[in-house]
């Protein structure tokens, strides 16, 4: 994930290439203080994927813009939702 805090809205905008490889681009309104932006990212990603917040855990990048998030649950369902959401993002970005 590539996080931009202090945005005008909470959203996932697409995929971006980082030094670590491809990453989802996420923006949150929360500020990067006291873990607020990280918590907002977990809420946003949980809502976007339709999974419980308790099924997500920040595993790397707590103080960085590039983060790794672990998602627990049925991997086939999660992969299908992720593919569906990514396809919708690509479609939306091509229309814009």
- The mean pLDDT value for 20-45 works out to 95
For residue 13, the surrounding DSSP H or E stretch is strand 11-18
Each residue of 49-81: pLDDT tens digit? Answer: 999 999 999 999 999 999 999 999 999 999 999
The CA distance from 78 to 96, in Å, is 27
Which residue range forms the structural domain that includes residue 82?
A: 2-95
The β-bridge partners of 15 are 24
Q: Which CATH number is 48's domain given?
A: 3.30.1200.10
Q: Look up the pTM and report it.
A: 0.91
| Number of domain units in the chain | 1
Max CA-CA distance within the chain?
37
């Amino acid at each position: 994930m590539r996080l931009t805090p202090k945005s005008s809205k909470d959203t996932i905008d697409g995929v971006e290439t980082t030094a670590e490889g491809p990453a989802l681009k996420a923006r949150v309104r929360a500020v990067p203080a006291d873990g607020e932006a990280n918590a907002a990212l977990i809420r946003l990603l949980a809502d976007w994927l339709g999974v419980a917040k308790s099924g997500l855990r920040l595993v790397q990048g707590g103080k960085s813009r590039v983060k790794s998030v672990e998602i627990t649950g049925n991997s086939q369902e999660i992969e299908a939702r992720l593919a569906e959401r990514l396809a919708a993002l690509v479609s939306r970005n091509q229309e814009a």
